[in-house]
Structure 1
Amino acid sequence: MLRAQPDNRIILGQSAPFTGPAAQLGIQFNRGAKLYFDQVNAQGGIHKRSVELVTLDDGYEPDRCADNTRKLLADDAFALFGYIGTPTSLAALPLATAAKTPFFAPFTGAMGLRQPFNRYAFHIRASYNDEAALIVRNLTTLGLQKIAVFYQNDAYGKAGLDGVQLALAKLNMKPVALATVERNSVDVAAAVQTLVAARPDAIVQISAYKSCAACIRTARKAGFGGTFFNVSFVGTQALADELGKDGAGVVVSQVMPSPYYAARAITREFVEAVKKAGGDHQANFSSMEGYLAAKVMAEGLRRAGPKPSQDTLVAGLETINNQSFGGFEVTFSPADHVASSFVELSMLTGDGRVRT
């Protein structure tokens, strides 16, 4: 099905949390993406079309996300872009697939969105399995064997938990304790009690920044002296902001190049763009992911040709093979739509910063 686009615009639809306890993830990703698309539009757009990002707030709730997605598709979004979260993306992807509309760069590493292969889903970040494998490898290398898991009681939390259990099982190990928190809640008292009672060496957290911060503070008050590890979705800067001095030593796995370390060209380009834009723009991992997602999407749109259709966009993206975006490697093919398996660890400092 060909979605008619105005001759002078390409409309991308994004449903994301712009309010609620996960709002910083949506806000920062969106700002990073708009930063790049604004640059593209200032230079005349792509094939003389400006790229417009239409956004709707879902508060990180799947039902609202599904409603938003129906609205965006009905309003002729050419592609869906930068959805935030696993439960929301799982609600949206079947709608995108039915409409034969590309679903590009969701901010999630869940395997449920990657397997089985979907012609319309494209991922630029590594999976939660990749992140969990690095975390477990790091912990066991340090001789830390007793690993507990604090996870969000939904598709995201379970996807991360699966990754940790898979990595531990390869070493004939299991988590010493499991405890959950509800999505968009900071009610962590019972979970912390369960976790601390097991006396773990480390707690791996798979939730969003508000609940993870609440868990860290409560566990520390209860006398837990071990380390905390988080996957990238937590929102690293948002977690650092929530924790302040209590963040010292908290580890977060990352699937994007560090915005704080200027070794890669993409970081220098991004930080320069943030400085130039000023205002509310910040250089952090979430905004970096939005910026890179927009950069890769723009390349796909260029390759889709002057009269783009959903099919030519899919085909265009599939020809991006072993391409370096300022030092971040992206590889798509007709059989594989996961661009990257890049993961590294970062650590929060007690002054609200991130060390990579």
Structure 2
Amino acid sequence: MKAVKEIVRALGGAISLCACLLGATPASAESGVVPNAIRLGQSAPLSGPLADLGTEYRDGALAYFKWLNSKGGVHGRRIELVTLDDGYVVERTVDNARKLLDADATFAFFGMFGSANYAALMPLIGERAMPSFAPYTGADELRAKPSPTTFWLRASYGDETEKIVDQLTTLGIDRIAVFYQNDTFGLAGLSGVEKALKKRKLGVLATGVYDKTKNDVGEAVKSIGTADPQAVVMISTYKPTAAFIKQMRLAGRMPQFFALSVVGYKTLQAELGAEAAGIAISQVVPYPWSGATPLVREFEALPKEFLPKAGVTYTTFEGYIAAKVFAEALRRAGPQLTRERLLFALESMRPYDSGGFSVGYGPGDRLGSRFAEVTIVGSGGRLMR
């Protein structure tokens, strides 16, 4: 194991695990793997400002894992997902990760949440050469860091903001402001908008920032409202997003509002009610309703006992997709499961079509998907493409 870790560190993004595997003897007691189970670990916000997102993502993943376990699992092993609540607090995320590694004997991380949270985890992940699949963050700067054992699934915030800016500028809208959270997440989204506009020889009209620990958006409303933008891209969670929209409208400002996928459509709509109509939200997985793809039909057809409590949402669907892709990697890794075999299996998935949503990895390529599209909340509260 020590030799493999040294190879992983030395080669960075271009892992050459094949040579390691050919000369390795399968481990009989890989951490988190027993004859009848594989234990995955997740730290996610089951409380706090992103509780709905964390719960829905976990439950979407569990829906697939439970269904798969009912069919015998992967090579005769059940998949167990241990999720610890971090409340979207960075320090708790790190503490949870250490517990999952040391006390809970976790085979791999799955769906770890938050940009700043994951940034704080990356040194530990590198130190332990720990497989980490589908972190719930789109921060481009994290993708740029060498982390050969991290495999992303969702598109980056740069991909989302590029799609938004492309749509706006195609419509002739170029007075674009940015409302953002004062952390890794917010700065990543702001950078994405700036790069997309610069590509079109444009710049950000105005910015407004808020402290995520206070959610006071008053100053942001003043700075952005004064500039009178045609559109505002919001890099924010649902409560400050809703407060910002309400206060902008009270101030007589009626720009087009665009939010990123992590805002959570259902929670935002619940917070705004009828005022949510007309808000655009970028998405990083396909439309999850109306049998739009084979993958959607598969999700909708799950037995009731496996379906997430929240039902079908973009977030439960993303969790379901992540679980399906990861289970396919476990299948390809074979019955003599080790972390090294899993990493090699993931790296060899180029591409994999899960039923209307394709992901692909390779040597030095950990990005998975760059799919992004823009939806809009209709007058009846339903999302439309």
Give yes or no for TM over 0.5: yes
Q: Does 1:7 align with 2:42?
A: no
* Residue matched to 1:298: 327
CA distance in 2, matches of 1:274, 1:249: 34
CA distance in 2, matches of 1:189, 1:140: 28
1:230 equivalent among 256, 259, 268: 259
Structure 1 residue 273: Cα displacement:
2.0
Structure 1 residue 307: Cα displacement:
2.0
Q: Deviations over 1:140-172 (max 9, x none)?
A: 111111100000100000001010000011112
1:33 equivalent among 54, 61, 73: 61
Q: Does 1:313 align with 2:351?
A: no
SS of 2:365 mapped into structure 1: coil
Structure 1 stretch displaced more, 180-189 or 137-146: 180-189
SS of 1:338 mapped into structure 2: strand
Structure 1 residue 109: Cα displacement:
1.0
Structure 1 counterpart of 2:235, which letter? I
CA RMSD of aligned residues (A): 1.4
* Residue matched to 1:195: 224
Structure 1 residue 319: Cα displacement:
1.4
Correspondence 1:203-222 to 2 at 5 A: 203-222=232-251
Q: 1:99 to 1:175 in 2, by over 3 A?
A: same
CA distance in 2, matches of 1:256, 1:193: 34
Structure 1 stretch displaced more, 203-212 or 273-282: 273-282
Correspondence 1:272-351 to 2 at 5 A: 272-273=301-302, 275=304, 277=306, 280-351=309-380
2:151 equivalent among 106, 122, 133: 122
Q: 1:206 to 1:354 in 2, by over 3 A?
A: same
* Residue matched to 2:184: 155
Structure 1 residue 203: Cα displacement:
0.6
Correspondence 1:49-64 to 2 at 5 A: 49-64=77-92
Contact 2:32 2:106 in 1 (8 A): no
> Which structure: larger Rg?
2
Contact 2:66 2:306 in 1 (8 A): no
1:183 equivalent among 212, 216, 227: 212
SS of 2:367 mapped into structure 1: coil
Q: 1:344 to 1:117 in 2, by over 3 A?
A: same
Q: 1:160 to 1:274 in 2, by over 3 A?
A: farther
**Runs of 4+ off more than 6 Å:** none
SS of 1:332 mapped into structure 2: strand
Q: 1:157 to 1:183 in 2, by over 3 A?
A: same
Q: 1:164 to 1:279 in 2, by over 3 A?
A: closer
* Residue matched to 2:120: 91
Residue ranges of structure 2 left out of the alignment (5+ in a row): 2-29
CA distance in 2, matches of 1:308, 1:113: 28
Structure 1 stretch displaced more, 121-130 or 91-100: 91-100
Q: 1:4 to 1:55 in 2, by over 3 A?
A: closer
Contact 2:239 2:271 in 1 (8 A): yes
Q: Does 1:17 align with 2:45?
A: yes
Q: 1:65 to 1:278 in 2, by over 3 A?
A: closer
Q: 1:4 to 1:56 in 2, by over 3 A?
A: closer
CA distance in 1, matches of 2:88, 2:123: 17
Contact 1:230 1:252 in 2 (8 A): yes
CA distance in 1, matches of 2:381, 2:106: 38
How many residues of Structure 1 are paired with residues of Structure 2 in the alignment?
356
* Residue matched to 2:7: none
> What TM-score does the superposition give when structure 1 sets the normalisation length?
0.97
Q: Does 1:353 align with 2:382?
A: yes
SS of 2:362 mapped into structure 1: coil
Q: Deviations over 1:153-198 (max 9, x none)?
A: 0000000101000001111211111111122543111111111111
* Residue matched to 2:22: none
CA distance in 1, matches of 2:165, 2:307: 39
Structure 1 counterpart of 2:240, which letter? S
2:280 equivalent among 251, 254, 257: 251
